[in-house]
Structure 1
């Protein structure tokens, strides 16, 4: 059995989305901007000859901006894995942390009707995935519990190398355990492994350890949490 400390996770923040550039969190399930699509193409160029040739699993949040980043930026990896019978896992637990319109996903039916996402498997999306309640609540304890669930889920997977596409605030909870304010650029990829093997992890937290930066195609656009906070303080 593979040790957790031998695994490699390539955590990716989505490319620039409309709410990033407009500082407007009222945009429903905010899509990528044209620049975000260009950043996703640059992400593809930066990873097509390395991690896309070796990764064994591709996982994405179910919101539009990470889905589109994944479809454009990791197209070779997706094609190779699907040829091997391994579909992209669209994971609702990777959704962004706030209950803002920009961070609330679309229904499974809406996503399945979008031509850009043709062929993706949305079976993991239950009706309550957009509820922002219960397991998907936006309280700190709920977000910390969900981040721990994500880490443990990734550790339990049999694959050695996993690419994950998600959101800035979500990635902070996953890597730091809270909304640390750590800067994540749009279309940035960082490599992580696990601090401990499962049998050594007494608290079963599955904490991650950084390895190195793989790619960084955008700038550190503010997350929705930061936009919300600045507006509450009357900033622009």
Structure 2
């Protein structure tokens, strides 16, 4: 039986909303969903309601967690949700800097974060003028390759992956709109 994987980009974040206007990093660290992002999630939820997912895998960045809970928190089949940092966003801006598992657990008590490293986002090299450790593209491409192998090794046959536009581009070569759902063929 063929594995079905649906990749879903998070809804619009507060970072996305301001960056579209200013083209400058608004310094929204681990940016949450904007009001439009929450609406995009509400609008998208019916599109996944009739699909039986054996597993939902979400990035630990807040906008992905909010999207995941909005799409699958009330899903009829109540699929298990796994928080996985391997498919986090390419760290290039403030919104891509994560928060420690203990803080995430406080904000999202329905999810499990104890398996994550204290600093699970990219934190190598010298920080730039914003204090951000920008992740080299080669590192993102390595993570995309590793995530593809991770998905292939999973026993589940139907998986939803909630993540990020730039990472998905390196994984699939597709530029995602907010809350867009794309089938991924391993």
Query: Given the two structures, how large is their TM-score scaled by the length of structure 2?
Result: 0.86
Residues 1:128 and 2:119 aligned together: yes
Which structure has the higher relative contact order (CA within 8 Å, separation 6+)?
2
* Greater per-residue helix proportion: 1
The aligned residue for residue 158 of structure 2 is 161
Matches within 5 A, 1:164-179: 164-176=161-173
2:33 maps to 32
The answer to whether the 8 A contact 1:66-1:165 is kept is yes
Alpha-carbon shift at residue 137 of structure 1 (Å): 7.0
* Partner SS, residue 5 of structure 2: strand
How has the CA–CA distance of structure 1 residues 161 and 137 changed in structure 2, closer, same or farther, with 3 Å as cutoff? farther
Rounded to whole Å, the distance in 1 between the matches of 2:84 and 2:118 is: 13
Number of residue equivalences? 174
Unpaired runs of at least 5, structure 1: 82-86, 177-181, 195-236
CA distance in 1, matches of 2:53, 2:91: 30
Contact 2:122 2:135 in 1 (8 A): no
* CA distance in structure 1 between the partners assigned to 2:37 and 2:134 by the alignment: 28
Q: Deviations over 1:41-97 (max 9, x none)?
A: 111122212x2xx1111000000000000001122348623xxxxx41101111110
Structure 2 matches for 1:39-188, cutoff 5 A? 39-49=40-50, 51=51, 54-77=52-75, 80-81=78-79, 87-114=80-107, 117-133=108-124, 138-176=135-173, 182-188=174-180
In the superposition, relative to structure 1, how do residues 41 and 153 fare at CA in structure 2: closer, same or farther (>3 Å)? same
Q: Which residue number in structure 2 is paired with residue 17 of structure 1?
A: 13
Higher-Rg structure is: 1
The alignment's C-alpha RMSD in Å is 2.0
Note if contact 2:53-2:159 (Cα within 8 Å) is conserved in structure 1. Answer: yes
Unaligned runs of 5+ in 2: 126-132
CA distance in structure 1 between the aligned counterparts of 2:12 and 2:92, rounded to whole angstroms: 20
* In structure 2, distance between residues paired with 1:118 and 1:98: 25
